[in-house]
């Protein structure tokens, strides 16, 4: 797992053709606004979350975020345990995000 600053994370994400954007907040939080192209996978769902991680393509580079960076750091650690080597945590989360946000 790598903790990246907002700038590092955004720059890496934009340059990475093998990127997969993962939002680990609740569905309610996700609906309120998310980074475009993100897939929502709620870390609070416990075993269901772990099952979904197991289905992910291990060859992709995962850019993970939550509200503040705490849940996404935990998610990245779990991803590493599942054999996903490239998981990048957005420090400060979407709260500090200055890029585009999509609202449903």
* Percent of the chain whose pLDDT exceeds 70: 100
Nearest to 73 by CA among 91, 50, 98: 91
Summarize pLDDT for 28-47 with one digit per residue, the tens.
Answer: 999 999 999 999 999 999 99
DSSP run (H or E) holding 62 = strand 61-65
Summarize pLDDT for 74-98 with one digit per residue, the tens.
Answer: 999 999 999 999 999 999 999 999 9
- In whole angstroms, give the CA distance from residue 97 to residue 58: 26
Contacts 24+ apart (CB under 8 A), 37-40: 38/65
Catalytic residue annotation: 66
Its CATH architecture, for the domain 2-96, is: 3-Layer(aba) Sandwich (3.40)
């Amino acid at each position: 797992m790598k903790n990246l600053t907002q700038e590092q994370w955004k720059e890496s994400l934009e340059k990475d053709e093998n990127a997969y954007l993962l939002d680990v907040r609740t569905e309610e939080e996700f609906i309120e606004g998310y980074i475009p192209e993100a897939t929502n996978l709620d870390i609070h769902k416990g075993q269901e979350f772990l099952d979904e991680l197991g289905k992910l393509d291990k060859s992709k580079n995962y850019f993970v975020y939550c509200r503040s960076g705490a849940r996404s750091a935990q998610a990245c650690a779990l991803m590493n345990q599942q054999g996903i080597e490239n998981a990048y945590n957005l420090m400060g989360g979407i709260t500090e995000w200055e890029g585009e946000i999509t609202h449903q």
